[in-house]
């Protein structure tokens, strides 16, 4: 515990108030016990978590806020820490794989430390979760269900998997039920029909029998016929050359995604990206890569924490990467009227870091976030590991005249 000393109101009475270093830089009010009147705001101007360079970066971020309490936060740790701005990532999957590998390198070099990947929204973490699975890296996901366990993701993956065993009628029926906009009655009928033929008949032959659709509602018939046609094209391409197979797989998942709500369609697009970019070889090899993955870690030791900026409040990690530090994400494009609050949230994410703070940008998207434009003076010299081996130049948004490019 540390003691902060101040004077209460106009009484001139000194008071010493203990506080925990874990609270970091916050402002709170202390009131004298014993009936004394008056209270004072005692600004806590020391940060006991972050290195001096990291705290300087955080101060530069928050200085642009128009409604902040006037105080300067001083880092009490002697170590400067590192601040990196990474912009070499060409797409979302590339970024997810890169930041996870970078965190893994850090944990290998610092076995007793912790690492986190922090995002603006929960959905942005889905690819990072899958990168952890494919790379065999334990992780802790805060505030979001397991990606692979989501019913629409599992159904889409099952449709892909059907090409490996075309006699699996149960899997075919389950994927149809999860991927098609079918009524409950139609789903029940299809499940019973294929269960009787499971292991005895090719699923496409069974799906073409007139008895299956006889008496079914017109909308259900149309939806199932479309699914059957998509699956027939997929089966034809699944054994072709790898390039053809991957293209057909993406087409199948795109067709399934068009039948889903936007959020679910985005999940299926993430699944397609993972199967294409992170898994290699034949279809069987790619599916085996997905099957060989760690579950969410029960213990924190050696695991990477994946969380949104909101969920990160009150937490701290030696190594932090804030992903998608772009102008369309920070501030969020749906929060254009609350930029000061977005800036404060970005500050929260940055101040979770103790020793190493990274901001990553997908350079095929928007330019770097305006919250990072002033960080040039505190960007750490040198690089960390192979993932940051290239010197980067991230152009700022051309709609903001008078700003210079951030060179890393």
Q: Which helix (H) or strand (E) holds 387?
A: none
Q: Are residues 308 and 270 in the same domain?
A: no
Residue with tokens 């690492």: 115
Q: Are residues 266 and 326 in the same domain?
A: no
Residue ending a domain, choose from 257, 291, 325: 291
Residue ending a domain, choose from 273, 291, 309: 291
Residue 194's domain is classified under what CATH number? 1.10.486.10
Instruction: State the residue range of the domain holding 230.
Output: 149-291
Residue ending a domain, choose from 249, 275, 291: 291
Distances (CA, A) of 31 to 6, 13, 27, 39, 91: 11, 11, 14, 5, 53
Q: Burial letters for 281-306: b for 16+ Cβ neighbours within 10 Å, e otherwise?
A: eebeebbebbeeeeeebeeeebbbbb
pLDDT of 335 > 80? The answer is no
pTM for this prediction: 0.61
Using pLDDT thresholds of 50, 70 and 90, give the confidence band for residue 300. low
Q: What is the pLDDT of residue 31?
A: 45
Best CA proximity match to 27, nearest among 73, 59, 65: 73
Distances (CA, A) of 270 to 83, 147, 192: 29, 10, 31
Residue 120's domain is classified under what CATH number? 3.40.50.300
d(CA 171, CA 165): 9
Please check whether residue 26 lies inside any domain of the structure: yes
Q: Are residues 112 and 242 in the same domain?
A: no
Q: Are residues 232 and 284 in the same domain?
A: yes
Residue 258's φ and ψ, nearest 5 degrees, are -65, -15
Please state the rounded mean pLDDT for residues 64-74. Answer: 62
Q: Are residues 275 and 178 in the same domain?
A: yes
pLDDT digits (tens, 9 = 90+) for 174-200: 999 889 889 989 999 999 999 888 888
Please state the rounded mean pLDDT for residues 23-42. Answer: 49
Q: How many domains does the chain have?
A: 3
pLDDT digits (tens, 9 = 90+) for 381-394: 433 323 332 322 32
Q: Are residues 105 and 223 in the same domain?
A: no
Q: 111 or 332: whose pLDDT is higher?
A: 111
Q: Are residues 169 and 232 in the same domain?
A: yes
Q: Are residues 159 and 272 in the same domain?
A: yes
Q: Are residues 224 and 336 in the same domain?
A: no
| Pairing mode, strands 304-308 and 139-141 | parallel
Q: Which residues contact 364 (CB under 8 A, 6 or more apart)?
A: 90, 91
Q: Are residues 282 and 305 in the same domain?
A: no
| Pairing mode, strands 304-308 and 115-119 | parallel
d(CA 30, CA 262): 49
Q: Quick one: what percent of the chain has pLDDT higher than 70?
A: 72
Return the top range by mean pLDDT from 16-20, 33-37, 70-74, 330-334. Answer: 330-334
Best CA proximity match to 171, nearest among 149, 183, 154: 154
Please check whether residue 54 lies inside any domain of the structure: no
Q: Are residues 269 and 311 in the same domain?
A: no
Q: What is the pLDDT of residue 402?
A: 30
Q: Are residues 220 and 157 in the same domain?
A: yes
Please check whether residue 66 lies inside any domain of the structure: no
Q: What is the pLDDT of residue 376?
A: 74
């Amino acid at each position: 515990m540390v003691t902060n000393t101040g004077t209460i109101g106009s009484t001139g009475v000194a008071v010493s108030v203990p506080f925990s270093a874990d609270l970091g830089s916050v402002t709170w009010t202390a009131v004298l016990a014993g009936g004394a009147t008056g209270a004072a705001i005692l600004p806590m101007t020391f940060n006991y978590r972050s290195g001096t360079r990291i705290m300087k970066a955080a101060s530069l971020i928050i200085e642009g806020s128009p409604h902040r309490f006037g105080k300067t936060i001083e880092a009490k740790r002697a170590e400067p820490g590192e601040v990196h701005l990474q912009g070499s990532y060409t797409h979302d999957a590339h970024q997810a794989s890169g930041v996870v590998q970078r965190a893994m390198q850090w944990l290998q070099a610092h076995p007793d430390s912790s690492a986190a990947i922090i995002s603006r929204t929960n959905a942005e973490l889905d690819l990072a979760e899958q990168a952890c699975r494919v790379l065999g890296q334990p992780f802790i996901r805060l505030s979001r269900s397991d990606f692979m366990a989501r019913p629409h993701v599992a159904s889409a993956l099952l449709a892909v998997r059907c090409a490996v065993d075309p006699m699996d009628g149960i899997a075919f029926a389950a994927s149809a039920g999860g991927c098609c906009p079918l009524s409950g009655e139609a789903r029940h009928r299809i499940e019973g029909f294929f269960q009787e033929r499971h292991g005895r008949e090719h699923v496409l032959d069974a799906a073409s029998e007139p008895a299956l659709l006889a008496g079914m509602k017109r909308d259900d018939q149309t939806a199932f016929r479309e699914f059957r046609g998509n699956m027939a094209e997929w089966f034809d391409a699944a054994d072709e050359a790898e390039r053809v197979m991957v293209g057909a797989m993406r087409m199948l998942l795109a067709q399934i995604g068009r039948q889903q709500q936007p959020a679910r369609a985005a999940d299926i697009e993430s699944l397609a990206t993972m199967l294409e970019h992170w898994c290699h070889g034949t279809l069987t090899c790619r599916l085996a890569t997905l099957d060989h993955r760690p579950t969410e870690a029960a213990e924190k030791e050696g695991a990477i924490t994946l969380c949104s900026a909101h969920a990160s409040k009150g937490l701290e990690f030696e190594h932090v990467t804030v992903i998608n530090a772009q102008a369309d994400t920070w501030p969020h494009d749906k929060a254009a009227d609350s930029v000061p609050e977005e800036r404060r949230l970005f500050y929260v994410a940055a101040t979770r870091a103790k020793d190493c703070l990274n901001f990553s940008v997908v350079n095929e998207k928007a330019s770097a976030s305006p919250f990072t434009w002033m960080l040039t003076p505190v960007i750490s010299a040198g690089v960390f590991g192979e993932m940051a081996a290239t010197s980067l130049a991230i152009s700022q948004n051309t709609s903001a005249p008078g700003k210079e490019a951030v060179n890393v």
